[in-house]
Structure 1
Amino acid sequence: MSPDPLSLISENKRTLDQEFARVADICNGCRRCFNLCPSFDQMFIRIDDRTGEADSLAKKDQDDITDLCYYCKLCYNHCPYTPPHHFNLDFPRLMLLGKAERAKTHRPTFRDRILVDTDWVGRWGRRLAPLLNWANSVRAVRLLIHRWFGIHKDRILPKIATETFTEWRAKNQPPQSAPATKKVALFHTCYVNYNAPDIGKASVQVLEKNDIEVITPPQRCCGMPYFDVGDIESAREKARFNIRSLEEVIQAGYDIVAPMPTCSLMLKKEYPALLGDEARTVSEHTFDLCEYLMRLNSEGKLNKEFKNPIGKISYQIPCHLRDQNIGYKSRDLMKLIPGTTIDVIEKCSAHDGTWGIKTEYFDESMKTAKPLFRAIEEGNPDMVATDCPLAGMQILQGTGKEPLHPIQIVKKAYGL
């Protein structure tokens, strides 16, 4: 049986309103997260505008604060009261539960239901890629989409690939050769498949450069987008499909690697929260792509025959990578390239994928990302990097600089 949604928050049996009041009171007394995201900003503003006490927050305040959370999870790692502290505070999961409880009585809008179904959007978008890419570039069309569908007219949207990553991979299988030293299954992710196949191609090329066999098992969206509308059951459905598929290849001796931090976070940490022991095997065998390559380096097996220096890189470390608590593996990997320096930027992009493109949150998204934009502009880099393509879209929106994934930079350094 699936865990009760309340177990995503804590083991106690408080109601949602009681848990929100408890957490708000603790956060009000601490305020360490005051500048992390719009949820905390609004919570403290509303408290201060009234009595100064958390019990002044009304139900509407609770709903508004929940809507402003885009599950970056920065606050969890910033918080001194997370488990095993007896306060047992988990603000992101509280926001997720709030969305799940509301979804029981208030069906998400058509726009929101479509946006989170990335598998469906990708399949149909692929068929209409030239038309949709053209439409996204036409101002009149964007104004209509803004008015009728609620996607902001100024938001840069990702292009849809005319050839998906899986289609490319089917045409580009490596020739038979001596047995590889290691084997990985690439959880390439729906975004890479439909929108950014170059990241998938670079992942395969770099892994094969290091004598690693790469397969791409059947997979669906990791399920994270469904958190935006509180659809926990759909997230579990996606998780179960992926777990069944990935467990088969794990039993055959493959590790799982993912180039997108949100997806590796889901496999590592969120699947166990959703499904308990059912997700343990996949969780224990999943690695972020650069984490895996640095593990190879620690074993003395990473190919370091880099041909091209890169120069100065401003590297934005994504929030969902920071939540994995694995250190700065992408930075460390790029630092191995001779003639390369890395400036790490620990600032949230506030894109989220669906939250930042909506008309009602676009301005808030851009405002929250200003420190990131400023750090990049002040750094004056030769190149910008981030592991998250959605953060990359936000960086392009705010600075005009188009980032690369670190694996694309490594591919460039190899001269592939």
Structure 2
Amino acid sequence: MADDDKNISYKPTDGLCYDPSEKKYWDEEALGKEITRVFEVCHGCRMCFKYCDSFPTLFSLLDEKYDGNVRKLTGDDTRAVMNACFQCKLCEVQCPYTPRDGHEFQLDFPKLVHRYAAIERRKRGTTLQDKLVGDPDFAGKAARMSGGMVNSMNRVRLHRWFMEKVLDVHRDKQLPDFASQTFESWAEAEGLTKQGPGGEVVLFQTCFVQHNEPQIGRDTVEVMKRNGVDLRCAKGLQCCGMPAWERGDLKGLRRKAHQSLDVLMPYVEAGAKVLAINPTCSMMLRREWPELLEGADRERATKLAAATMDPSEFLWSIRNEERFDTNFKSSPQGPVAYHAPCHLRTQGVGFKGRDLLRKLPGVKPQLVMECCGHDGTHAMTTHGFEPSQRVGKLAFEGMQKAEAKWWATDCPLAAIQFEQHAGRKPLHPMSLLARAYRGDSFEAPSAPASPYRRETEAPEEVEAEGHEEERSR
């Protein structure tokens, strides 16, 4: 009987491996067996048709080109399916066949994509795009060295065209400004880094708060202090490594994780919880590091994972204690549109940011659960910018339909996506609470259309050249 006539078993092949410390993980033939099996399972199930473009691409190829025969998919077909995944993780949340659920199929599509990307990265080596887009700490330091010039240049039409050609960053993508002062520098000036290991919690501010929006970190510190939490800050923390891992850079991820573990473990050993502000980062610390690191770092990461929490999750855990402060001096009142980030949903911690907003007098949060489509660096790229808008459309509409003057989300990158494509920038729940504690005004926030498309449109001759190249890809 020809191989094409044999049924493909849904059960794991001998190529199954999700551990990059094992030699089999890097075996392309072993990976190929698992890709064929997983594609066959997904082809038969189709529960995840509504998430990223990976599944519609796969199903369309099988239905329209290969008469349902997974074995006929080419290398280019597989690459198209894998490259369309932006690691929102919602398919893993939805899938009934995962290791998390103890199912015999042991299927984890996002990890399969990561394995594929890691092998592809090893073959191609490190590019300039990998270095600059996959290392936010490097980009943040370089931006500060420019004295603010980077922020200005990111709004210059010709410069953005150049970035698109060299770095694959879409010319119309709204990019966050870089702060002149890092969160760590502020925390050190406030004496928050001098106490050393101990305390109740230590803040993992994340690279985005560190380099782009330190105010979110400041608001988190203020809210925790208002509630009697002994919070410490640490010096020398690195990016969680997700931007590197998105591009298959395991070495880069491990290097950054090792440095952060050196900083955080003394706090963990002293009994402190680790509060990671960005949901992607808390997911990395909780779920990815214990599986991606090796040796002693894997052991340390397992201990760290057990101590990691989201700030809203931690604050909610002390809501019934006497120290929990409900003395809010102001409140937005009425409906507040709350977006639940995908990477919080994959951690299974519930909607604690939304629940905390209910503590504000007169506030009625309106929950929106659809993916916003940003997902790390995906929405920044030339191939991800348009799909990210399409994927996020339901989330944009959901926030707008809430008819709320104030929007909230725990994900700072999602906030950028909403600002550009839905007309209003949500605040982090910690920032909304901080405003209420301070008694700041909650007058209706202005919501002008994002200036990015208007300011970054290329001159006609450049625009024509760019589209000509895009059509040829």
Superposition TM-score tier, normalisation by shorter sequence: over 0.9
Separation of aligned partners in 2, 1:17 and 1:6? 18
The 3-state SS of whatever aligns with 2:280 is helix
1:290 and 2:305 aligned = no
Q: Tell me: CA distance 1:53–1:403, structure 2 relative to 1, closer, same or farther (3 Å).
A: same
Separation of aligned partners in 2, 1:336 and 1:182? 26
1:127 and 2:145 aligned = yes
- Which residue does 1:328 correspond to in 2? 351
Larger radius of gyration: 2
State which of 115, 126, 137 in structure 2 corresponds to 1:97: 115
- Which residue does 2:378 correspond to in 1? 355
Shift, 1:13, TM fit? 11
- Which residue does 1:375 correspond to in 2? 398
Deviation larger for 205-214 or 187-196: 205-214
Shift, 1:54, TM fit? 2.4
- Which residue does 1:37 correspond to in 2? 52
Q: Tell me: CA distance 1:139–1:282, structure 2 relative to 1, closer, same or farther (3 Å).
A: same
State which of 169, 186, 190 in structure 1 corresponds to 2:207: 190
**Offset from partner CA, 1:258-315 (integer Å, 9 cap, x none):** 1111111111111111134331211111111100000111445421111212232111
Tell me the amino acid that sits aligned with residue 203 of structure 1. Answer: T
**Offset from partner CA, 1:374-398 (integer Å, 9 cap, x none):** 1112222111111111111111111
Instruction: Map 1:152-231; keep pairs closer than 5 Å.
Output: 152-173=170-191, 183-217=200-234, 218-231=236-249
**Offset from partner CA, 1:80-101 (integer Å, 9 cap, x none):** 1112100000000000000011
Separation of aligned partners in 2, 1:277 and 1:339? 46
Deviation larger for 224-233 or 30-39: 224-233
State which of 169, 188, 205 in structure 2 corresponds to 1:151: 169
Tell me the amino acid that sits aligned with residue 199 of structure 1. Answer: I
What percent identity do the matched residue pairs reach?
Answer: 35
Shift, 1:139, TM fit? 2.0
- Which residue does 2:273 correspond to in 1? 255
Tell me the amino acid that sits aligned with residue 414 of structure 1. Answer: Y
Shift, 1:182, TM fit? 5.8
- Which residue does 1:269 correspond to in 2? 287
Separation of aligned partners in 2, 1:157 and 1:40? 28
RMSD: 2.3
Deviation larger for 264-273 or 293-302: 293-302
- Which residue does 1:18 correspond to in 2? 33
Q: Is the 8 A contact 1:8 1:274 kept in 2?
A: no
- Which residue does 2:342 correspond to in 1? 319
Instruction: Map 1:333-352; keep pairs closer than 5 Å.
Output: 333-352=356-375
**Offset from partner CA, 1:142-200 (integer Å, 9 cap, x none):** 223223332111110000101111122222237x9xxxx96210000111011011100
Q: Is the 8 A contact 2:244 2:250 kept in 1?
A: yes
Shift, 1:127, TM fit? 1.9
- Which residue does 2:388 correspond to in 1? 365
The 3-state SS of whatever aligns with 1:19 is helix
State which of 424, 429, 447 in structure 2 corresponds to 1:401: 424
Q: Is the 8 A contact 1:108 1:229 kept in 2?
A: no
Separation of aligned partners in 2, 1:14 and 1:150? 30
- Which residue does 1:412 correspond to in 2? 435
Q: Tell me: CA distance 1:296–1:223, structure 2 relative to 1, closer, same or farther (3 Å).
A: same
The 3-state SS of whatever aligns with 1:47 is helix
Q: Tell me: CA distance 1:409–1:9, structure 2 relative to 1, closer, same or farther (3 Å).
A: farther
Q: Is the 8 A contact 2:238 2:260 kept in 1?
A: yes
Runs of at least 5 residues in structure 2 that lack an aligned partner in the other structure: 1-17, 440-473
Separation of aligned partners in 2, 1:280 and 1:6? 15
Q: Is the 8 A contact 2:137 2:211 kept in 1?
A: no
Separation of aligned partners in 1, 2:29 and 2:265? 35
Deviation larger for 107-116 or 68-77: 107-116
Count of residue pairs brought into register by the alignment: 410
Separation of aligned partners in 2, 1:166 and 1:69? 33
Q: Is the 8 A contact 2:132 2:139 kept in 1?
A: yes
- Which residue does 1:278 correspond to in 2? 300
Q: Is the 8 A contact 2:182 2:210 kept in 1?
A: yes
State which of 105, 130, 143 in structure 2 corresponds to 1:87: 105
Q: Tell me: CA distance 1:371–1:7, structure 2 relative to 1, closer, same or farther (3 Å).
A: farther
- Which residue does 1:232 correspond to in 2? 250
Tell me the amino acid that sits aligned with residue 287 of structure 2. Answer: K
Separation of aligned partners in 1, 2:58 and 2:22? 24
**Offset from partner CA, 1:360-410 (integer Å, 9 cap, x none):** 221111111111111112222111111111111111111120111110011
Deviation larger for 216-225 or 318-327: 216-225
Q: Tell me: CA distance 1:300–1:332, structure 2 relative to 1, closer, same or farther (3 Å).
A: farther
1:71 and 2:87 aligned = yes
Tell me the amino acid that sits aligned with residue 303 of structure 2. Answer: T
**Offset from partner CA, 1:58-105 (integer Å, 9 cap, x none):** 211111111111111111010011121000000000000000111121
Q: Tell me: CA distance 1:323–1:14, structure 2 relative to 1, closer, same or farther (3 Å).
A: farther
Separation of aligned partners in 2, 1:142 and 1:241? 33
Shift, 1:251, TM fit? 2.0
